Structure 1
């Protein structure tokens, strides 16, 4: 009886408090499912979260009201009359550019206008309207604080164009794909140009047609993402489209008639039943050589390679190292000159001087004769021939309403064919005139090494015209992520593993090993027996990254995130064939020596905690702390605090952040060691070395091991939406980097002229970013939109003493003044019926250089320029679109001038002969007259015309 009464009581109680089940989906204005939306029964603690598909299910009392809330979206309330309730959430603020962004927070995603941080959102359409061939170059003309450029010297450097945000170098910008870390390139960039000593991910290999949008966080983000995010983060979001597949065919050519480009790209997608999707992209492209060599100055080349200076060669007068009976062993150049002055009056001197002068006359004739037929010195500068194949796939599969597998994978193969500097016939004359019985024929091919005419001619003296070493780079780059997402009781769990790698192998042809090395029988191993094709080796980098990220919207005020990352990295330098490195190695690009080759590995473990708290609908505070522990240099703890305040009916937003950060030295910077060829002002092509910090040579020289860089970032900004169609943001940033890692200048040591990496000094970079959009203005029968964005650098300099004496004026300029002081982009788009007209004007401000060899009383400045791009899209049918682009419409080219630092500099500039000498020093005697040898900040190719056809399936 008691049991019966108890059951009856429970049934009656249940009847009094009867509940009902409510279910449905939550989507945004674009129709996309929203996961993690908080659904709460009003007046209770009863709540659930929407799952990966936006679905939810909740049991509520009769007559209950449901509250739907999500960060950055308007809170909405609904009654529960019907058991099926589908809800569309609208974003707060009513501003433009309010896409939901996932970059910059480890808690819940927010709309762009409600984030605490400055984030640029660039769509696929934005990228394609630039008319640029590669992703990195498209960003160059869309984001003012982003800079990248192709350097004028094309060997291994042609496989990676350095890029950067806020003048901080590629090592300090983290690249993500769908929120997961992209692998670095295997190349350590050592060219004397902006980006020297850096490495970064190869973003040029990412096909534009695979990209849905790009989120660029212009703020330090090491606490959220770990190393490499001191300057910011570029998060590439891949397409999820299952409809509107398309094939794009593109062709183009420069106004000079070279640089022909042909590409075809396929993007398509499909659903996988009703459980998921897959989207894939296949891209083929070929770009031919575009050559922009300068005219070589005959006098400069004669002075560098042929002219005999009696003072320089006076030590050869006697084999016992005496000059006029005086032992000159150990003397300085000044002391030798003093001895030489006394020696001038002797008969022996006068006889030798007459012979030398006659030889110089002959040599100058040879130089003039060659350059008359080859005014560019045989050089091939600028843009190399490149062929690329790119494949990318992105997809997911729902295991249940609350669990999902997701994946993406990419593979890129790139082949680059380029040239070293042309070896003119007079480069290889015998440099000891006093040992040459035919000195009166100095500069004549009869005194060149005789085997050269057999290697690079038909065996006759007249056929030898020098030789042009080629460089071929084969690049393979891959990355893949497999992940698992789940939602349980409102907790979002994301576990993933990412693998990625980049490998590069090199081939040098049409060259030689000129080393004087003899075998046991006295036969020269190289020179006349040298191969003319070499395999100098290469390099590779790979990583494996595991991520676990957990987040939850605890209420309409609090969101938390916690996670960890474990990463292992491997860097390999592959040994070249012996002929490529033995002795002097392959002329132009020597191979990797066995002692400099090897395999190195490290791992790190990191963890973070993120908390976001909305004190009100207007006031938000977000904090993050991260701990990271590396196997090779120890641990780092960093933090970030950011906030945002909205007022005046959400039309004005104040935001700011302060954070600390770190950057671990890359394995490339720690272990790379190599001999390399480079142009030295006034000395032609010379060989020098890079020694690493863990080598025996470094210990002898007292070079310390590398420590991580540490940073302090401050950002303060304002955003406003004064009119319905007008919005703008202004953000000030200040970045201090301590223990900055640099590749120093070369220093004369007992190991020759060598450079090394070191934690050299502290630096500060500050400036302002401005972004404005004014859209959808009715004009005639069309609609007009404007956008203006800019970056202004206030300060970019060293703020502490340097650690050693290997940081000179050239390196200082490359790091701090070689990028434009300001860059602005003004664009307009006019859409009328089937025609979409876009015009973009990019202003590149002044950039200042101190090239190697330049007189200390001078500097060079690149003149501010405006590059105008025009694009016309015509929708011929619903499926077919034609696009015509003219990049650099007015054929604007880089232009630089000498500037005096003081009165001495003014005097130099008033002397034409000295001006010419300085010009030759920094342009390799005119070979790089338009760019100088240190590079430039926009393309020297001039106008590029392209036409593309896009067909939708």
Structure 2
């Protein structure tokens, strides 16, 4: 079934199932949430413990929730306030009123999380593994407009580098957790597995060789909160959860809200003092990267019987450019144009993107007490990013078309669909949750301002280069109950099964985007020689690259936990899965929490984990013509099953396996102070990486000897390395009331992570004469030192009546980009930098809030690239920078809540 059909059917089915208005077996709890000594609290989360029922308070602080008859505990939380709780008894057809008053508080350990346990909700303080709960208020306060950037500004173990001039990676940038791979963190929405992007990142940036979830395809305005489990959880949730799990909870019965923001950079770009004098004194004031964003959410509660929440977002992000003048010779020697050729002709910075997304979240309690739910989303992103400038003297330039050179562009069209339908309730003593979720992502490559050299002067300037697609559907059946087996308390037991289907497809481009048209270089010193084949900047996918591949897997898990004593919680989990393409795997986890005092908790866990090789890694295929010593070579990225890859030593991919040790503590001695510290040590074997490029005369001869003539080399994915990752997270919150001056909340967080490659698989025997190893120094450096080893963030927020002032500073540690020289002379070392953000917000009557702020207030840039590795200094900064290199960003935002 196509995903569009699935989403429509899901929505219709849910509406039909919930259309019965008779609710004789349900009652309602309603009330208002106010601040001690103040007015209504808007946007507070009201949870019914042990269920999935809940609501966000509206503009008047009110809430309403439909429940089956029974006794329930209600918890109310909002960052900046203490947790409130009480119990109510709900009767059929009746309404019980329960109001709450919240006190100002700095701690977050009282937040309730559904992540990390399938048997019961726990507060962050009581959880046996570290969990961060990021509220919508915190996310919005960052000033960022993209979901991934918002998370990075709050969660110290989360990294979101800003790749640039990286083909498709400019349009879908991968994020990481705890310094591991972008595909080693599992992303959920409302507790259900989220599909990944169709794009596999093949260029030289963090996330190379990996397919990540596109977090920016999820509209920030539709997010209630984000839960981050910073611990291995494959035994609980399956593949990909080696580094942890990110669970995005959508808004349900929430206030109607509209937000609009505008902003742009205001920065000074300066030349690198180490560069030639012609540009070392370069200085220019820039106001680019204009951003407009608008989002709105609306919901209805069906008279307390359920909710329907709708949200939409539009974001227009203009490009930025931080490239310096290109002082290289542009034209052939002797051409008079060379005298005035130096100019800014490249584009290094953010891609130009336009995003439009819409999400729906629905839930309804039926007359029999069952809860039917559905959520779905659709989004489109149009992007434009630049490649390298082709000079007029370059053999990649058709001078009859571009006499002065040209800047080729990748213009992407990315579609994302998802839909979920489920039902949960009680059968006897068991709780059940049965659901099905499907998602699809497509990435279409169109190339503009380009040419195919081998088509000569008749070459088109625009090309369709093909489309990548990925589809994933998952069906889950989860069951839980309390079981009396003679222990002090009942055993919390959960079990379930999962069936998942995945499909990865590549659609070939237009023939002109990849074919050799037979025309040789038309002019210049290399006239008559073979030119580059295919559309410049991104050759199209060929028929030999195209195809569709699928697989399925089934899994089952068992999880149990028990409070063995008043002070000791023990939890165990085991999971087994079978994949149709590589076989079976099994994982397990043991976690514990010891309460030394009511507000002092020790916690620790040991687990095994796995990550299945993605279909992208097994089947991605592309062909490009590279020139080595002036000679053209077709270098292919090959599936491991391809005969050429086999001749080069490729083997079937197998799962990555991990062993994760963690331990720490959490203390909350008062409502105004909390502190957590957690250590982790993660061993991963058989990590999947790209091999180096195997090219040259010897490789050609080897392939020809095996009957594979006409191919000059290739690369492939391989289980080539083992790694060890160890580090620690520290988080502290403190708050103090300053009387009439208001309430001050102080937050500090620190993450340190060290990655080490402990083993590299030997180069295949047939290629032992090659100068490149199977996994070389540059890629090893990307894992070991390509991300900050430390991240420190501190923030202060003053809240006084309608006024909020926020000041935040974040220190990103050193990052290194290794060069090919073994002595390190070509390495780029980018020192630690501190980024400072500031904002002021005022809430006018009728919940109208205006915020004015500055991100990177002091206009800080990362360290410079070396001229030796940067074509004479054209690109001053690295796309591996964890905070980008756009400089100061100024913004204004208007928010209206009803």
Q: TM-score range by the shorter chain?
A: 0.7 to 0.9
CA distance in 2 between counterparts of 1:508 and 1:921 reads 30
Q: State whether structure 2 residue 122 is matched by structure 1 residue 155.
A: no
Conservation of the 8 A alpha-carbon contact between 1:159 and 1:473: yes
* Cα displacement (A) at 1:87: 9.2
Q: Equivalents in 1 of 2:450, 2:97: separation in Å?
A: 71
| Superposed CA offset, 1:715-770 (max 9, x none) | 10111123331101000000000111111221223232422110012110000011
Following superposition, the deviation at residue 290 of structure 1 comes to: 1.1
Report the alpha carbon displacement of residue 24 of structure 1 after superposing the two structures with TM. 8.2
Structure 1 residue corresponding to 2:812, chosen from 822, 834, 844 = 844
Q: CA deviation at 1:150?
A: 1.7
Which of 568, 577, 588 does residue 619 from structure 1 map onto?
568
| Structure 2 SS opposite 1:595 | coil
CA offset at residue 925 of structure 1?
Answer: 2.6
Pair 1:928-2:875 in alignment: yes
State how many pairs are aligned.
782
CA distance in structure 2 between the partners assigned to 1:779 and 1:77 by the alignment: 32
Aligned to 1:775: 735
The residue aligned with 2:390 is 423
Instruction: Report the CA distance between 1:241 and its aligned residue.
Output: 2.7
Match of residue 359, structure 2, among 392, 395, 416 = 392
C-alpha separation between the residues in 1 aligned to 2:230 and 2:470? 27
SS state at 1:290 partner: coil
User: Is 1:187 matched with 2:199?
Assistant: yes
Deviation, 1:617, is 2.8
Residue equivalent to 1:660: 608
Q: 2:473 aligns with which of 538, 544, 547?
A: 544
| Cα gap change, 1:546 to 1:803, in 2 (>3 Å) | farther
Q: 1:410 — aligned with what?
A: 377
2:641 aligned to which of 681, 694, 709: 694
Relative distance call for 1:194 and 1:84 in structure 2 (3 A) is: closer
Q: Secondary structure at the match of 2:788?
A: coil
Distance in structure 2 (CA, Å) of the matches to 1:695 and 1:951:
57
Conserved 8 A contact 2:645-2:714? no
Confirm whether residue 671 of structure 1 aligns to residue 630 of structure 2: no
Aligned residue in 2 for 1:874 = 842
Task: Name the counterpart of 2:523.
Answer: none
- Contact 1:775–1:786 (Cα < 8 Å) also in 2: yes
1:278 aligns with 2:211: no
Answer yes or no: is the 8 Å Cα contact 1:184–1:201 preserved in 2: yes
Q: 791, 815, 832: which is aligned to 2:800?
A: 832
CA positional deviation for 1:676: 3.9
2:424 to 485, 498, 505: 485
**In the alignment, what sits opposite 1:559?**
492
Q: What TM-score does the superposition give when structure 1 sets the normalisation length?
A: 0.77
Distance 1:806 1:634 in 2: 26
In 1, the alpha carbon distance for the partners of 2:113 and 2:318 equals: 38
Tell me by how many angstroms 1:27 deviates. 9.7
Deviations 1:451-502 (A, max 9, x none): 623x23xxxxxxx211221210000011111110112334211000001010
Report the counterpart of residue 598 of structure 1 in structure 2: 547
**Equivalent in the alignment of 2:855:** 887
Cα distance change, pair 608–678 in 1 and its aligned pair in 2 (3 A)? farther
- Kindly indicate whether the alpha-carbon contact (under 8 Å) linking 2:806 and 2:838 is maintained by their aligned counterparts in 1: yes
Q: Which residue number in structure 1 is paired with residue 276 of structure 2?
A: none
Task: Specify the alignment match of 2:242 in structure 1.
Answer: 230
Q: How many angstroms does 1:89 deviate by?
A: 12
Q: Distance in 2 between matches of 1:491 and 1:121?
A: 28
Which residue is 1:503 aligned to? 442
Other structure's SS at 2:759 match: coil
Q: Deviations over 1:428-465 (max 9, x none)?
A: 39xxxxxxxxxxxxxxxxxxx8x623x23xxxxxxx21
Query: 1:34 aligns to what?
Result: 48
SS in 2 for 1:156: helix
CA distance 1:75–1:292, shift in 2 (3 Å):
closer
Cα distance between partner residues in 2 of 1:735 and 1:671: 28
Q: Report the more deviating stretch, 121-130 or 716-725.
A: 716-725
| Residue matched to 1:202 | 214
Please name the residue that 2:452 is paired with: 513
1:599 Cα deviation after fit: 0.3
1:879 and 1:952 in contact (8 A); partners too? yes
Alpha-carbon distance change, 685 to 810 in structure 1, aligned in 2, over 3 angstroms: farther
- The answer on 1:295 being equivalent to 2:325 is yes
2:572 and 2:863 map into 1 onto residues whose CA distance is 46
Paired residues of 1:868 and 1:887 also in contact (CA < 8 A) = yes
Q: Secondary structure at the match of 2:156?
A: coil
Distance 1:407 1:684, change over 3 A: farther
Structure 1 position 249, deviation (Å): 1.1
CA contact (8 A) 1:589 1:677 kept: no
Residue 673 of structure 1 deviates from its aligned partner by 1.2
Cα displacement (A) at 1:295: 3.1
Moved more, 401-410 or 670-679: 670-679
Question: In the alignment, what sits opposite 1:943?
Answer: 888
For 2:757, the equivalent position in structure 1 comes to 798
Paired residue for 1:441? none
Secondary structure at 1:223's aligned position in 2? Answer: helix
Equivalent pair of 1:217/1:232 in contact (CA under 8 Å) = yes
Deviation per CA, 1:837-862: give whole Å up to 9, x if none.
Answer: 11111100111221346854553211
- After TM superposition, the score normalised by the length of structure 2 is 0.82
Matched residue of 2:148: which SS?
A: helix
Give the 3-state SS of the residue equivalent to 1:428 in structure 2.
Answer: coil
Q: Which runs of 5+ in 1 are unaligned?
A: 1-21, 39-51, 59-66, 307-361, 430-448, 457-463, 516-525, 898-918
2:775 matched residue in structure 1: 807
- Aligned residue for 1:426, secondary structure, equals coil
The structure-2 alpha-carbon separation of the partners of 1:94 and 1:844, relative to structure 1 and needing over 3 Å to count, comes to closer
Q: Could you list the per-position Cα deviations for residues 543-596 of structure 1 after superposition, in whole angstroms to 9, with x for gaps in the alignment?
A: 111011111234654211111110000000010111111131112110001011
1:629 and 2:578 correspond: yes
* 287-296 or 886-895, which deviates more: 287-296
Distance 1:719 1:33, change over 3 A: closer
CA contact (8 A) 1:252 1:945 kept: yes
Q: Residue 859 of structure 2 aligns to a residue in which SS? A: coil
Is contact 1:26–1:33 with CA below 8 Å preserved after alignment? no
Instruction: Tell me the residue number matched to 1:248.
Output: 259
Within 2, Cα distance between the matches of 1:241 and 1:674?
47
Aligned counterpart for 1:756 among listed residues 716, 727, 736: 716
Tell whether the 8 Å contact from 1:23 to 1:84 is kept in structure 2 after alignment: no
Tell me the CA shift for residue 952 of structure 1: 2.1
Equivalents in 1 of 2:832, 2:499: separation in Å?
45
- Give the whole-Å Cα distance in 2 for the aligned partners of 1:540 and 1:924: 35
- Cα separation, partners in 2 of 1:265 and 1:76, compared to 1, 3 Å: closer
CA distance in 2 between counterparts of 1:923 and 1:565 reads: 49
CA 529–192 in structure 1, closer or farther in 2 if over 3 Å, else same: same
Q: Is the 8 A contact 1:596 1:673 kept in 2?
A: yes
Listed one character per residue, the Cα deviations across residues 851-887 of structure 1 (whole Å, up to 9, x for unaligned) are 3468545532111000011111111223211111200
Q: Is 1:586 the counterpart of 2:535 in the alignment?
A: yes
Structure 2 unmatched ranges of 5 or more: 1-24, 34-43, 53-64, 78-82, 267-285, 517-532, 701-710, 764-772
SS of the equivalent of 2:125 reads helix
Asked if the contact 2:673–2:735 (Cα under 8 Å) also holds between the matched residues in 1, the reply is yes
**C-alpha displacement at 1:191, in angstroms?**
1.1
1:237-386 matched pairs, under 5 angstroms? 237-242=249-254, 244-255=255-266, 256-298=286-328, 363=333, 366=335, 369-370=337-338, 372-376=340-344, 378-386=345-353
How far residue 297 of structure 1 moved from its aligned partner, in angstroms, is 4.2
8 Å CA contact 1:508, 1:536 repeated in 2: yes
**What is the root-mean-square deviation of aligned Cα atoms in Å?**
3.3
* Residue of structure 1 equivalent to 2:654: 707
Deviations along 1:89-111, one digit per CA (max 9) or x if unpaired, are 999x9964312111111211111
